[in-house]
Chain A
Amino acid sequence: MVTTDIYKKEYDVIIVGGGATGAGTARDCALRGLSVLLVERNDYSTGATGRNHGLMHSGARYAVTDGESASECISENMILRRIARHCVEETDGLFITLPEDDLQYQQTFVEACQRAGIRADVIDPDEARRIEPAVNPELIGAVRVPDAAIDPFRLTVANLLDARLHGADTLNYHEVEGLVISQGHVEGVKLFNKLEGTHVEVRGRVVVNAAGIWGQRIAQQAGINISMFPARGALLIFGHRVNNMVINRCRKPANADILVPDDTVCVIGTTSDRIPIETVDDMRVTREEVDVLLKEGIKIAPSLATTRIIRAYAGVRPLVASDNDPSGRSISRGIVCLDHAKRDGLEGFITITGGKMMTYRLMGEIATNAVCAKLGNTAPCVTASQPLPGSEPDAPDQKDATKRYSFGQRAAIGRHGSLAARIEKDNDIDNALVCECEGVTVGEIKYAVHQLHVHNLVNLRRRTRVGMGTCQGKLCSCRAASLMGEFNGNVKAAQEDLAAFLDERWKGMRPVAWGDTLREAQLTSMIYEGLCGLDMAVNMEGKEDVQ
């Protein structure tokens, strides 16, 4: 639909925030027959959704400290395995005890898991070394749990796709500037279209604030105070998978104690630091954070000491203080759903926050229940049973060795599940690889640009993994930029987009720029500045980060 037509409509519900929670809420609302608009100020999944481990918790990590969260996790974990197969890799996880840890804790941990309904099998350290050779061989205890890896970008896109299939509209690069309030009722949102530079109002009967840590600002626009405590976590991505199972430390949650195999890479994290709310947009990782992550990460898998790091990134968890304790000392990691009619006397406004990426569906269900209650909709929630697009029971499997897929096709099935069938592959040009590290073809780029709301290379990366390999887009980004320039006919923009993309890649590389990652960076500069002169064509000064 044309954007200006969207502006004219009046929706049952407007959802603010294009992360997993917003997307899950949009899907749920749409499946229940509501008319839905989702707005996102940047690209989808640019906030905390795209900046975590990609870990599908079994809940074991929270079992000892927060039984309720643990139960939520294991029940959502089982649901996601069914409905989001193409976003999930069933790896299982280990909780290991090292000589410096207290082995007594293992028993406490296992009992807590059992209470929460999480399968937790104590295994022999030898067995742990056998099933996961990357694990620190000095471990003295291990517990196997149903952890898994999940791709949050794919998950979010699949939810948005399904929402759209059921009539929802979604707009990225639309920032909420304020709420339309009339006589104690929220009646819509004031939007700034960042791509066109225009301001508009769109009307909706209920507005759901699903903006994560940025939800505090949204609420402020309605004169409402929510005390959020941003907790920043930094993570490191290594160039390949050293482990094939999730590895956790079996102790009270602390810094850098989870190593997750994500697609072709693995990720160690996180640090955890309270930061002032004003700094939540600065996601640059510091050397101190890298230092902590490495030192702790090496204890989980010693080979990390000599494995190439391809980038560092950070995200911010939206922790919410309970209303009777604004100091933030008793902070919940659980889901918080605030009906501002009850809480603040403002009708038509709901905030859904807290929680975790992997409980996004449940958060969507809770928020949708609240919306439906206001609108008198009684349709039941089906998101727990209905597979996401791409994950239908008969969807092809990238791991099916009996099928003779090309590299690009196999990788595309891994990324898009059954939707990979929509990718053109009937001629040599569509089958040509653009990104050779990650197996992204011309056809897949066309599909992403035309059907997955891609406006720039960074969007394209999130939808397809273009430029996410070890070279961080050195050769493919120019090919992709040039293709996109041809699709949308704006060459100057394509060059600026290319520079912005390289800059975004560099942001993650710079904190770990030594060894082969520095070599890679130098080669990138030699190609794009030395050979091509991109720096002479593009003025980056004063440019905002393209998210």
Chain B
Amino acid sequence: MAERMQTCNLSENNFEQCTKCSICTTVCPVAAVTTDYPGPKQAGPDGERYRLKDPAYFDKALKLCLNCKRCEVACPSGVHIADIIQQARMRASEGKRASLRDTMLANTDLLGTVANLVAPVANTTLGLFPTKLVMHSVMAIDKHRTFPAYSRQKFTTWFKRHAAKEQDSYSQHVSYFHGCYVNYNFPKLGQDLVKILNAIGYGVHLLDKEQCCGVALIANGLYKQAKRQARTNIDNIRTSMNRDHRVVLTTSSSCTFNMRDEYPSMLGIDNADVRDNINLATRFIYNLVDEEKIKLIFKQNYKRRLAYHTACHMQRMGWQLYSIELLRMIPGMDLVELEQECCGISGTYGFKKENYERSQAIGSILFKSIEEAQVEAVTTDCETCKWQIEMSTGLPVENPISVLADALDVEATRRANGIK
């Protein structure tokens, strides 16, 4: 025992490594726009010492935290500031019920299943001004918000009808965790991924079962349900890994971050054995190119000027360089890397009436920099950033996988990789 004394300083979420340097407070997007939020240092490590003494020290203003994790990225001491805040919220919410609005927003898959069935009606209804007013006043969902359009056909339906069969013909295989957004709102992204992966010789498969990753459930305090879904997902990912020997790819930075990092820290779900096998598609593809296992051949005369926005959770994962480097492989790509700023939406946060103005104020720095970049479109790995940026700047926003699929000369790539 004696020789191991005081070799390190362990504390829950490293809160005691905090040197009170206050750097986190300089990057917090919420504290920058409202004085109601005490800032990450106060809400996080400072408050935690007192909450350990007595839970009465919990401050309701902590719900203003976006969980964007920018404080953690900036912290020179490795303190998991946002985790401290989220866990304090979790402890304080025990035994309390979430509101109908929060439950609805959080259940992205439930909402999606219903909406897909009645997509034209849903899109119209959710977009109609009277409906919006009802949602604004009764549900407290802000009237400025446009709900993302729902697709008529789910990704999984498309996949089973048009793609599933031929996947076994490839020599290598991956599983794809498509997430709610691809399934209900934007199947094209999933189709783009299948196109690219097939072209480089990988067959794509769905998990036996997939549920919403639960990022919105966690944000809205529905921890029990989040835990249930997390367990289902991790079990199915484990099956993919152990039974099928397939890594699991995603096209959403938030789903990826949530399943890799928030499952253990927020929900206490042990994912240690599968965590390394949950990978973002851009990172997976970049690595194959980097190790010269595959080749990508791009269309000739392709020319685009895009701005890359690093989503907050992408930044927290530290993987933006893979998406950026992958895009920079495209000849004719003029990519502007935007200074990392939060867009303000943070999943469902910006949908809530009480957060709308704050949300837009937070995003304003980013919107301005996008405007200044003078680009034809923005690219980012996060779907909620996409909604926010599209609504606020009017520019189209694409996932890097879609950009890549668009630029890829599929036939030439297949040939280069020896795929028939």
Contacts and interface: CB of A to CB of B under 8 A. Distances in A.
B55 interface: yes
A241 B41 CA distance: 19
B167 interface: no
B49 A469 contact: yes
A308 interface: yes
A514 B16 contact: no
A110 to B, nearest CB: 29
Contacts of A298: 1, 5
A308 B9 contact: yes
B52 A295 contact: no
Given A437-B20, A516-B16, A523-B21, A307 B50 contact: no
Interface in A229-244: 239-241
Contacts of A411: 50
Given A400-B56, A516-B17, A295 B5 contact: yes
Nearest to A298: B1
A92 interface: no
B41 A306 contact: no
Contacts of A433: 42
A152 to B, nearest CB: 18
Interface string A181-195: 000000000000000
Given A470-B49, A523-B21, A515 B54 contact: no
A23 to B, nearest CB: 26
A305 interface: yes
Given A399-B56, A407-B50, A407-B59, A308 B11 contact: yes
B65 to A, nearest CB: 15
B21 to A, nearest CB: 7
A520 interface: yes
Interface string B58-72: 111000000000000
Interface string A396-428: 001111001001001100000000000000000
B21 A399 contact: no
A307 to B, nearest CB: 7
Nearest to A472: B20
Given A436-B41, A475-B20, A295 B2 contact: yes
A37 interface: no
A399 B21 CA distance: 29
Contact of B49 (A264, A295, A303, A398): A264
B147 interface: no
Interface string B28-64: 0000000000100110001111101111111110000
A239 B20 contact: no
B49 A437 contact: yes
A470 B50 contact: no
A298 B77 CA distance: 25
A294 interface: yes
B49 A307 contact: no
B20 A514 contact: no
B96 to A, nearest CB: 13
A303 B10 contact: yes
A475 B22 contact: yes
Contact of B10 (A295, A307, A399, A436): A307
B38 A305 contact: no
Interface in B192-248: none
A404 B20 CA distance: 26
Interface of A: 239-241, 261, 263-264, 294-295, 298, 303, 305-309, 398-401, 404, 407, 410-411, 433, 436-437, 439, 469-471, 474-475, 514-516, 519-520, 523
Given A307-B9, A516-B19, A519-B19, 5 more contacts: A261-B53, A295-B1, A305-B1, A401-B56, A410-B50
Lowest 3 CB-CB distances: which A-B pairs, in order? A471-B20, A401-B56, A306-B10
16 contacts: A241-B49, A241-B53, A264-B49, A264-B53, A305-B1, A308-B11, A308-B17, A399-B54, A401-B55, A410-B57, A470-B18, A474-B20, A475-B22, A514-B6, A516-B9, A523-B19
